[in-house]
Amino acid sequence: MREAHQSDETERVQARRAPAPAPAARPEQGGAGLVRLQRRAGNAVVVRALQTKLTVGGVGDRFEREADEVADQVVRSLRAAMSDPQPDDAVRRRPGDIPPGQIQAVAPGPARDEFVSRSRALTGRVQRNGDGLDTFLEKLKETSDLTSLRGQVTEWKGEDVERAARHFGIPRFQDIVFALGHELLGKTTATEMCALDPKNPLAVPVGSLAQRVDIAKRWKVSAGDFATHLALVAPTEGGTPTGALMKAAREYGVAFPARFEAVLGHRSFSIDSIKPEVELVSQPERDQVWQDKRLMAKAKGLLNNPNDYLDLLPMLRVFTPPTGATIAGAQPGWDKHISSDQVDIYITQHLSHYVGKLVGRKAQGEISVVGDEDWEFAFRRQWPTLDPTLVKPNAFVDVDQPKRQIWIHKDRGDSGTAIHEGMHKYASDNIRNIMRVKFPGRLPISQLDEGLTEYFTRLVTPKLGITRTSYPNPLKFATSIIGVISEAIAAKAYYDGDLDLLVNTYLAKTGRSTAQWELFAKALEEENWIVATRVWNTGA
Amino acid sequence: MDRAWRDRELQRAEALLSAESSGLELHRQDAHPPPDAIGAVDGFGVVMADHGLQASVYLFEAWGAGRDAAAMLEEMTDGDRYRAASALNGALMLLAVAEADDAAAVAALDQLIGAFSGME
């Protein structure tokens, strides 16, 4: 790095050797006056004024002495201004506001071109000469168009950022960082950007996101660039919830697919944290995400927890259309499955007397209609010991997972499949859990539970013109039980999970014993229809 | 129509009607009526040995497209002499016919319909 006095001498020599143009207005004394002139008249005028004052005459003559004095004065005032950046004022200032002694970014035009060219020359010299960061920072002070330096500092490391922050004072450095582009932002954490002064409010992690937004707005960063910025900082923003990042991006005007993609690499990604943001958008916006194969593949690759990816699918209401042609003019449900929000409408409309008082039970956001790849992924999570290429259900509820989500294969089932599966979500899983443990059958389901589910499904489907054929034998026995105990008792047992109510009412009505009930239940769960029929009829 | 999808769906139909799935021993035969007679693109038939039960499986071009054909065939066949039932599963359709006076065949028909309809 050159010594200060050498720089002063060089500048005085350069000033003396400047050509002698026509007289121009006399500049005000000091750096502040020079900057005010620059704001009013532009950089070219300032340069001409300096050159005018520095008309070369003979060596040692009064012109030379005056030129030396003016040059000294200008250099001193510029250095004084650059060494005192006045951080508090800079935090509040806008790009157009110039505190005394500060050099502004130059508006587009010939003056700007001149300074761009100067900046590039400066940067070029730094790179060619291999000057260190300190030299570069000194020369950076002479540059007024910071945007011209974009892309020049991509190799900066964290400690370089810290040194630059100390050099310029934190608030101005943030402005420089944004002007230099988000390649640098991607290398800095909120802590690195503003943690140097404990009293600085920018050091607070939550505040750092708000400050990023504020700075981005002041520098008119585009929504796309802001999303890119968030994507770059997300891997380090562990202290900020993922949902907060998405919210900030939404409020900044970033489109849903872009802000979803921006947070995928978040260091502490939380599916529950983003859920409110996903629920907030429209279904067409959610469709844009799950229909984007590139984006979904990226999500699957970046989300460390496989449960997060599988939880994401129903959250997005994935509704993959079936393979093959479509039937022109087909009614909803006739050429593809019924959507989850329609399932809720149909069930609550036609079974309001049974489900109307059930709080929090719904199908919307719980059903995914998927193709082979996601189907197999979900299937293996639920039944790790079964082979999805051999066991091919149309749909299932992943009952052993905390969220009990519904998976429907896009190419299987019929128009009432989604209603049957949705019915499982309205019911308690108590009957299923008790029966399949007490009377394990061939499959990891309960025939009694499926029979009851199909029974209540068929209270809805005929009203929609849908013909169901699933579970004929379980349905037959469920219907027989309901014939004894009443539909109201069966509904209470089914939706509230009160198996004891069902069994005790059956025993009371029939006079049968618990042993006879269990004999029947065992045959039912083992799909031994002939024995089940015999025991039902005779008790033995 | 995608050939791979077509083969996959026919294999799925065979799996649904297999002994492991339906609990029935069935033998292969041609579909009756033939697929092209009812607008299907492919199909096959099965018959239960020693009992009056036979069924035909059809693959249509689109999900749910076999609905009208199923209703038509069922109506044409079901009656005093024969018990007929149909089921849809995606683009697949099954029509099963059992001799009404063969109790085992009628019970097997329900079993077959249930197996073909698939687990949900």
The Cα B94–Cα B13 span in angstroms is 9
Residue of A323, A326, A473 with shortest CB distance to B5: A323
Q: What is the pLDDT of residues A245-298, one digit of tens each?
A: 999 999 989 999 999 999 998 888 889 999 999 999 999 999 999 999 999 999
Range picked from A59-68, A70-79, A403-412 for highest mean pLDDT:
A403-412
Q: Cβ(A447)–Cβ(A488) under 8 Å?
A: no
Q: What are phi and psi of B27, to 5 degrees?
A: -120, 150
Among chain B residues, CA nearest to A322:
B63
The strand order across the sheet containing B92-99 reads B26-29, B42-48, B53-59, B92-99, B82-89
- Which pLDDT does position A77 carry in this prediction? 44
Q: What per-residue confidence (pLDDT) applies to A165?
A: 56
As a whole number of angstroms, the distance between CA A344 and CA A460 comes to 11
Q: Do A472 and B113 touch (CB under 8 A)?
A: yes
> For A325-343, what is each residue's pLDDT tens digit?
555 544 444 678 999 999 9
* Cα–Cα distance measured from residue A492 to residue A242, given in angstroms and rounded to the nearest whole number: 41
Per-residue pLDDT averaged across B9-34, rounded?
Answer: 94
Q: pLDDT category, A232, cuts 50, 70, 90?
A: low
Residue, of A256 and A10, whose pLDDT is higher: A256
ipTM of the complex: 0.95
Predicted confidence at residue A162, as pLDDT, reads 56
Considering only CB atoms, B89 lies closest to which of A334, A413, A476, namely A413
Mean pLDDT of chain A: 73
Is any Cβ of chain B less than 8 angstroms from the Cβ of A413?
yes
Compute the distance between CA of residue A456 and CA of residue B69 in angstroms, rounded to an integer. Answer: 27
pLDDT score at A133: 57
Q: Is B5 on the interface with A (CB under 8 A)?
A: yes
CA–chain centroid gap for A540, Å, is 61
User: How far is CA A424 from its chain centroid?
Assistant: 31
The answer to whether residue A420 neighbours chain B at the CB level (below 8 Å) is yes
Q: How far apart are CA A467 and CA A416, in angstroms?
A: 8
Helices A499-510 and A514-525, axial angle in degrees (round to 10): 120
What is the model's pTM?
0.71
- From CA A288, how far away is CA A292, in angstroms rounded? 6
Q: Which one of B23, B65, B118 has the shortest CB-CB distance to A413?
A: B118
| CB pair distance less than 8 Å for A323 and B2 | yes
Length of chain A: 540
Q: Is B43 helix (H, G, I), strand (E, B) or coil?
A: strand
Name the most confidently modeled range: A68-72, A113-117, A451-455.
A451-455
Spatial distance between the Cα atoms of B49 and A483, rounded to a whole number of angstroms: 36
Question: What is the length of chain B?
Answer: 120
- For residue A325, the chain B residues in CB contact (below 8 A) are 1, 61-62, 65
Q: Which residues of A touch B1 (CB under 8 A)?
A: 324-325
- Of residues B117 and A5, the one with the higher pLDDT is B117
pLDDT at A185: 43
The answer to whether B62 contacts A325, with C-beta atoms less than 8 Å apart, is yes
Q: How far apart are the first and last CA of chain B?
A: 27
Q: Residue A442 — very low, low, confident or very high, per pLDDT cuts 50/70/90? A: confident
For A418, the closest chain B residue by CA position comes to: B120
Mutate to test the interface with B, among A336, A383, A414, A471 (most CBs of B within 10 A): A414
Task: Return the pLDDT at A110.
Answer: 57
Closest-CA residue to A367 (of A428, A419, A301, A442): A419
Name the more confident of A391 and A487: A487
A138-172 pLDDT tens trace: 655 565 445 544 445 545 555 565 566 565 554 45
